Amino acid sequence: MINGFIPLHKAAGMTSFACVAAVRKLAHQKRVGHGGTLDPDVDGVLPICLGVATKLVDRLHALPKTYTGEITLGFATDTEDLSGTEIARQRLTTPFIADQLDTAMASFTGAYTQTPPLYSAVKVNGRRLYDYARAGDPVERPTRTVQIYHFKRTSTARFEAAAGEQSFTFTAQVSKGTYIRTLASDLGTKLGVPAVMSQLTRQVSGGFTLADSVTLDTLTAAPALTPYVQPIQSVFSDLPTAQLTSAAWDRVRHGNYLRLDRPAAAPGSELFMRYGGDVQAIYRYDAASDTWRAATMLLHDTDQFTLGEN
């Protein structure tokens, strides 16, 4: 079994599930997942998790994500991007000046309460929002609080007088669960005009950058996937490692707590537990008992190894 991560450069036009299915077929194994859905029309970094790395999907998803894209002012769609049907148009007769755009964008920095788009996979009463939308059934969309670390314009705003539209590129770093197309739509609301996300690329996800990523075409043409697989430690390189003795491994493999001969750590600190040449688990420090306790179990058999051994 292959264990580790493949930072995939997902092409626009593919679903995240289709990417997982393609890698599953190439890897000849069922244990394949991804670390954060990308909409079909969006391209960029999609971390693929293989083998025991699938147990770290939630950890990958929790890491900040960085996007670049384009926002167009002057019209809106029901999906908040260009894949949907136009639902509002307000021709701009004069363009917004740079200071207006920048001030409005900066106002979203920090905690931001967002209502997910109707065409999204968020579940309400066991149904996806897009199922409600397609069936025409009414539904109250839940709000969520997300974090916007930065949201900045990266180009001069282009004004198309004939169309009554104004477009500009941007970069945004956000927390998990943030819909950039909704951020674009809400920016329009802040400015008093309809707006749409007209292009989006995910540049960073799960600690991987677009430069780290490989296309599905490259993987398909390769004789093996292993040269493209990153070890578990590559994402969580800030975690220190404890090399286990045989006795300690016997406790870890059963998920038992450990007392380690090392200085007391800050409450909640984590350690890689390494045995048999690879990381077997992630343990978290419990200050109250001065012990290390299982946070995430990875390998349960020393006959299984991840790639990229140190």
Quick: pLDDT tens for 99-158.
999 999 999 999 999 998 888 888 888 898 889 989 988 888 989 999 999 999 999 999
Specify whether 153 is located in the same domain as 268: no
- Residues 45, 79: one domain? no
The pLDDT of residue 309 is: 29
Same domain (yes/no): 157, 281? no
Q: Determine, yes or no, domain membership for 97.
A: yes
- Is position 270 within any domain? yes
The SS3 of residue 308 is coil
Rounded distance, CA 219 to CA 237, Å? 25
Number of domains in the chain: 3
Q: Which element (helix H / strand E) includes 273?
A: strand 270-275
Instruction: Answer yes or no: do 84 and 199 share one domain.
Output: yes
69 and 200, same domain (yes or no): yes
Do residue 260 and residue 135 come from a single domain?
Answer: no
SS3 212: helix
- 45 falls in which pLDDT band (50, 70, 90)? very high
HEC profile for 92-139? CCCCCCHHHHHHHHHCCCEEEEECCCCCCCCEECCEEHHHHHHHCCCC
Neighbour tally for 158: CB within 10 Å? 13
Do 201 and 77 fall into the same domain? Answer: yes
309 within domain boundaries = no
Report the pLDDT averaged over residues 268-289: 90
Domain assignment present for 305: no
Strand partners, 146: 112
* Options 39, 43, 186, 212, the catalytic residue: 39
Active site residue 217: no
Residue 289: CB partners within 8 Å, gap ≥ 6?
A: 257
Query: pLDDT above 90 covers what percent of the chain?
Result: 73
Per-residue pLDDT tens for 237-276? 788 889 999 999 999 988 899 998 887 788 889 999 999 8
User: Which residues contact residue 126 at a Cβ distance below 8 angstroms, ignoring those fewer than 6 apart?
Assistant: none
| 206 pLDDT above the threshold of 80 | yes
Burial code (b: 16+ CB inside 10 Å, e: under 16) for 240-251 equals eebebeeebbeb
Q: How far apart are CA 278 and CA 276, in angstroms?
A: 6
Q: What is the domain-level CATH number for residue 215? A: 3.30.2350.10
Q: Which residue has the higher pLDDT, 301 or 59?
A: 59
Count of other CB atoms within 10 angstroms of residue 203? 19
| 144 plus 250 within the same structural domain | no
Residue span of the structural domain in which 44 resides: 4-63+207-233
- Please check whether residues 38 and 145 belong to one and the same domain: no
92 neighbors 194 (Cβ within 8 angstroms): no
Asked if 11 and 51 count as a contact pair (C-beta separation under 8 A), the reply is no
Q: Rounded CA gap, 40 and 191, in Å?
A: 28
Rounded Cα gap, residues 221 and 5, in angstroms: 18
Q: Is 38 found in the same domain as 111?
A: no
Confidence of residue 37 (pLDDT cuts 50, 70, 90): confident
pLDDT per residue over 232-241, tens digit each?
888 887 888 8
Q: Is the dihedral of CA 240, 245, 251, 253 positive or negative?
A: positive
Based on the fold, state whether residues 83 and 186 are members of the same structural domain. Answer: yes
